[in-house]
Structure 1
Amino acid sequence: MTPVSPGPDATEGRGRVAVVIGGANGIGAATARLMAARGWRVALADCDAAAGGALAAALAAPFFALDVTDRAAVAALPARVEAALGPAAALVVSAGAFQRNLRVEEEDPAELDRILAVNVKGTWCANRAFGPGMARRRAGSIVNLASTAASLATPLSIYGPSKSAIVGMTRSFAGEWGRAGVRVNAVSPGITLVERVRARLRSEPGRYGADPAQTTALGRLVAPEEVAEAIAFLCSDRASAITGIDLTVDCGWGVSAGWAMYGGVRPPPA
């Protein structure tokens, strides 16, 4: 695990409350650790009670068991967080459901309901739950986790469109609450070396091609802490003029895609 840097200012959060939904593992967990290190009071919410509870204990943070597809439970979360820590100044929605790399006709249609319920409905409900309160307080920042699959063609015919929906709703919410001082942005990671992806690379070596690191301009894959840096920046006052964007963090995967027909990204000079 890459050490968490306190960054430009270890008091950046100024004791404000940041809620990380999907904060038990992967990018969400990396974000929770980083924001706690930068002075935010973090609240974690996740369906993985074991991992979420362990991380919350390590951060001295409250943990809330949460199924993001349960609209009533998500709607009740802001009040639960406020009772424990105070009103949320930042919300990170990192909960996500993934899709197997299968032909369309091989995919179980039930996957459509599962993925859309988590990625689209869950993200929409979380924004709807926290955004109006931030708007009433005239301040707040929301970051939704999308994916490079939202803007580049992939074999993931459900997952990619679900992430495109997240980018679209992010822009809609940015317009909805902008005059009230609430910023809403998305972050789109490329292939990120969370434990789930590391396991896939070991067990499904063909899922991303022979060497997925060679498909990026930088010749490597993304660390979850690097995505967390982008999220923490967008939540911070350093991003005070930024809203409605989709920030890509992919080690140049999108940049290198067009180079394949020309022999691939060039190696560094000798």
Structure 2
Amino acid sequence: MKKEVLVLTGAGQIGMAIARRVGHGKKIFVADWKIENAHRTASMMAEAGFDTVPFEVDISSKQSILTLIESSLKEGEIAFFINAAGVSPSQASIEQIIAIDLYGTALLLEAFGKVIKQGGAGVTISSQSGHRMPALTAEEDRLLATLAPDALLNLDMVKPENIRDTLHAYQIAKRCNVKRVMAEAIKWGERGARINSISPGIIMTPLALDEMNGPRGDFYKNMFAKSPARRPGTADEVATVAALLLSDKGSFITGTDILIDGGATASYFYGPLQPALH
């Protein structure tokens, strides 16, 4: 008998934590652009009793995504989709951030929205950064939300020459993620399925450690020191929210974004992290 399928893109700590919460009894495709990462996470989960398949995928390639979907559907209906793939401002160029975090996420949401089973659900990991960028116009938001993925790259606002730096690129990409989830929720709803996003703050993962040990390290340390929670978060805390969004208990939640950042964004606008105070 075929199992329901869970597809995870991005084999890092957050994606694995979510998959462990909701993946029992399912065939879990662990997909990553580095196949060694996929093998490592798939092996760790298999040792804990999960049924996993490591898979190589480039989310900036439509054909690569379609190959992943085709392989997944051979095993059963896709019940859950989790996208935790992405690059950070300290580890990637402007072009890479736009190609992966913005364009790649748009491709994934569109492609999996066409194959998710009735009653299925998805979650994509965005970032608190998308909440800090100044408000866009209604038309800019509409274009980020609704343009076909290939047309997105023709927008002046996402062309590298119009982007200040990698942080700005990351903010645009994450704002786009949230807006596209809203638009895609309409299409997913036609299949009786749901899609939401989560915007984490600083979550202690190898990626976050790279950031904290990089050129923006002092910025990150100051951020959680001056947030209400006074600490970074954990992958399990993100997984708790994702498990709600993917479960029947979250069946009335779709097309939305949940900010889970220990209050850092609140502090950025109304507390000691306000730029005007520095």
Identity %: 27
Is 1:69 the equivalent of 2:60?
Answer: yes
Matches within 5 A, 1:134-153: 134=116, 137-153=117-133
**1:26 to 1:207, Cα distance in 2 relative to 1, 3 A:** farther
Cα deviation digits, residues 238-267 of structure 1 (max 9, x gap): 1111101101111111222212289xxxxx
**1:113 to 1:205, Cα distance in 2 relative to 1, 3 A:** closer
Flag the structure with more relative contact order, 1 or 2, with Cα contacts below 8 A and sequence separation at least 6. 2
- Return the offset for 1:170: 0.3
- SS of the aligned residue for 1:222 comes to coil
Letter in structure 2 aligned against 1:125: L
Instruction: Name the residue aligned to 2:106.
Output: 124
Find 1:82's aligned residue among 73, 76, 85: 73
Letter in structure 2 aligned against 1:67: D
Aligned partners of 1:68 and 1:74 also within 8 Å: yes
Instruction: Name the residue aligned to 2:155.
Output: none
Instruction: Name the residue aligned to 1:46.
Output: 32
Instruction: Name the residue aligned to 1:3.
Output: none
**1:210 to 1:238, Cα distance in 2 relative to 1, 3 A:** closer
- Return the offset for 1:231: 1.5
Cα deviation digits, residues 12-40 of structure 1 (max 9, x gap): xxx63211101x2131122223333x544
Is 1:133 the equivalent of 2:140?
Answer: no
TM-score after normalising by structure 1 = 0.79
Aligned partners of 2:212 and 2:221 also within 8 Å: no
Q: Which runs of 5+ in 2 are unaligned?
A: 47-51, 135-164
Instruction: Name the residue aligned to 1:8.
Output: none
Aligned partners of 1:35 and 1:42 also within 8 Å: no
Letter in structure 2 aligned against 1:86: G
Find 2:5's aligned residue among 17, 22, 28: 17
Q: Which runs of 5+ in 1 are unaligned?
A: 1-14, 102-109, 263-270
- SS of the aligned residue for 2:229 comes to coil
Cα deviation digits, residues 63-98 of structure 1 (max 9, x gap): 111111111010221120122x31211101111121
Cα deviation digits, residues 126-159 of structure 1 (max 9, x gap): 122221122xx43321111111111114982100
Aligned length: 235
Is 1:58 the equivalent of 2:44?
Answer: yes
Is 1:157 the equivalent of 2:137?
Answer: no
* CA distance in structure 2 between the partners assigned to 1:209 and 1:123 by the alignment: 25
TM-score after normalising by structure 2 = 0.77
Q: RMSD value over aligned CA atoms?
A: 2.3
Matches within 5 A, 1:87-236: 87-100=77-90, 111-134=93-116, 137-153=117-133, 156-204=167-215, 206-208=217-219, 211-236=222-247
Aligned partners of 1:146 and 1:187 also within 8 Å: yes
**1:62 to 1:261, Cα distance in 2 relative to 1, 3 A:** closer
* CA distance in structure 2 between the partners assigned to 1:261 and 1:121 by the alignment: 30
* CA distance in structure 1 between the partners assigned to 2:120 and 2:182 by the alignment: 15
* CA distance in structure 1 between the partners assigned to 2:133 and 2:218 by the alignment: 15
Moved more, 196-205 or 27-36: 196-205
Find 2:19's aligned residue among 32, 38, 41: 32
- SS of the aligned residue for 2:219 comes to coil
- SS of the aligned residue for 2:132 comes to coil
